[in-house]
Amino acid sequence: LATAQYRSGGIDPSVQLFLSADPDDYLDKASTLDQLSAQQVEALKKIQDKQRQLAQQRAEATDKLKDLAATRTELGNKKKEVQSKLAEAQKLLNTLTAKEKAALAAEQQRANRSSSERVDLGNDTSASGRASAAFSAAQSKIGTPYVYGATGPSSYDCSGLTSWAYAQAGVSIPRTSEAQSGIGTRLTRSQLQVGDLVFFFNDLHHVGLYAGNGQVLHAPRTGTVVRYESMDTIGGPFMFGVRV
C-beta separation of 142 from 226 below 8 A: yes
Q: According to the model, what pLDDT value does residue 69 have?
A: 85
Q: Which regions of the chain are under pLDDT 70?
A: 1-21, 23, 26-28, 30, 32-33, 36, 108-128
Q: Are strands 227-230 and 238-243 parallel, antiparallel or unpaired?
A: unpaired
> What pLDDT, on a 0 to 100 scale, did the predictor assign at position 118?
46
**How high is the pLDDT of residue 123?**
45
- Residue from 63, 61, 64, 43 nearest 53 by CA: 61
Query: How many C-alpha atoms does 198 have within 13 Å on its Cβ side?
Result: 29
Q: Are 220 and 229 in contact (CB under 8 A)?
A: yes
- Determine if the pTM surpasses 0.75: no
- C-alpha–C-alpha distance, residues 157 and 162, integer Å: 9
* Catalytic residue IDs: 158, 206, 218
Determine the pLDDT at residue 199.
97
What one-character DSSP code corresponds to residue 233?
Answer: G
**CA pair distance 82, 142, nearest whole angstrom:** 25
Which pLDDT does position 80 carry in this prediction? Answer: 86
* Domains defined along the chain, listed by start: 2-70 (no CATH), 98-243 (3.90.1720.10)
CA dist 87 and 94 (Å) reads 10
